Amino acid sequence: MVVVLALNSGSSSLKYGLYAVGSEPVLLVGGTIETADDHARFFDTIETALTGWPTPTVIGHRIVHGGPHRDAHCRIDDAVMADLEAACAFAPLHGPASLALIRAAEARYPAIPQVACFDTAFHTGMPDIARTLPIPREYQATGVRRYGFHGLSCESIVRQLGDDRPDRLVIAHLGNGASVTAVRDGRSIDTSMGLTPSGGVMMATRTGDIDPGVLLYLAREAGLDGDALARLVDHGSGMAGVSDLSGDMRVLRTAGTPDADLALRMFERSVCKQVAAMIASLGGADMLVLTGGIGENDAPTSQAIRAGLAWVPGLDIRILPSQEDAQIARHAAVLA
């Protein structure tokens, strides 16, 4: 029996779970901590929660972006850490926080091995038509391509469906970050996020897909530099930017303002458009699974998506829980 401490660091929170892993992971205890910079406090909270439970034998981390050299889950060593440092350029919202968490875990549990579970791994085998971005070849050689994200969530959906998984499946992971993935025969063939987790669906604070000319215009006419554009794309846009209120779906649902309503309708339309794009990549679809915090819990969003995709013949729409942490536990147990 392997005991795994799974750490799922997202853009807005840290989820942790202690799993006993035999033939299947069994959650012993878990919780969520709102993201903060004090990683020592993270582990104070976690250690308090783990009191009386078995000591972990391995720690597994969700890593959003491993860069061009890491496309398979692996044990963390100095070489992996160097690649994760370099990969921060691709995921500035997530990379530095993950590195800090790994270092904090090593300081607290120096004798326990750590495993990196990459959100990009599920999308590694995408065909060239999906992974290649329409830019000069010289930049493609430096690792500028479509990577895809929320791979652990997609893995968990494919696993839950088991024999019920259709040949043509679309998975919409809808949360603070959101993406839509086309899955054929259990493998990713296309996905809405690209080089970074900022593209695709309009999100809580991220633009999603946007005319690149908008950024050129703001740089040229409004004088925004690279840092200002990065803040705009990742922190000041999406539903928060449109509503001028919040990117939190729960806040927007109760706000009652025209701008909040517009932000919600834009998000719902954005999801439907990306689902339609994935249906085109698959040549049709048999099932759409909604997952993630919004996909699982916000009924008006799921209703709007059902209405927006009513034109798709024979589309079975289901809601399933994202089980990223259990996937981390499975991979970490194998690699311990």
**What tens digit of pLDDT does each residue of 237-254 get?**
999 999 999 999 999 999
- The token pair at 237 is 């846009």
Averaged over 35-56, what is the pLDDT? 84
pLDDT digit string (tens) for 324-335? 999 999 999 999
CB 191 within 8 A of CB 180: yes
More confident residue, 91 or 148: 148
2-144+328-335 homologous superfamily: ATPase, nucleotide binding domain (3.30.420.40)
* Residue 307 or residue 71, greater confidence: 307
Give the residue among 296, 48, 9, 67 at the shortest CA–CA distance from 172.
296
Query: Annotated catalytic, 119?
Result: yes
User: Residue 1: what pLDDT?
Assistant: 85
pLDDT at 77: 97
d(CA 189, CA 296): 24
For residues 185 and 194, the answer to whether their CB atoms sit within 8 Å is no
Q: How many CA atoms lie within 13 A of 82 on its CB side?
A: 4
Report d(CA 187, CA 251) in Å as an integer: 36
**pLDDT value of position 36:** 61
pLDDT tens digits, residue range 212-232? 999 999 999 999 999 999 999
- Residue 6 vs residue 96, higher pLDDT: 6
* 111 or 12, which is more confident: 111
* Gyration radius of the chain's alpha carbons: 20
Interval 116-132: pLDDT, tens? 999 999 999 999 999 99
User: Where is 155: in which H helix or E strand?
Assistant: helix 151-161
> Please, what is the average pLDDT of the chain?
95
CATH 3.40.50.880 fits 161-319, yes or no: no
Q: CA of 294: how far to CAs of 50, 248, 301, 327, in Å?
A: 29, 10, 7, 20
Q: Which strand (E) or helix (H) includes residue 188?
A: strand 187-191
Sequence ranges of the chain with CATH classification 3.30.420.40:
2-144+328-335, 161-319
Summarize pLDDT for 311-326 with one digit per residue, the tens.
999 999 999 999 999 9
pLDDT at position 118 is 97
44-52: list long-range contacts, CB under 8 Å, 24+ apart: 46/5, 46/16, 47/108, 49/16, 50/5, 50/18
Q: Which of 78, 83, 119, 298 is catalytic?
A: 119
Q: What is the pLDDT of residue 13?
A: 76
- Answer yes or no: is pLDDT of 40 > 80: no
pLDDT score of 44: 87
pLDDT at 30: 96
Residue 184 has pLDDT above 70, yes or no: yes
β-pair partners for 18: 5, 29
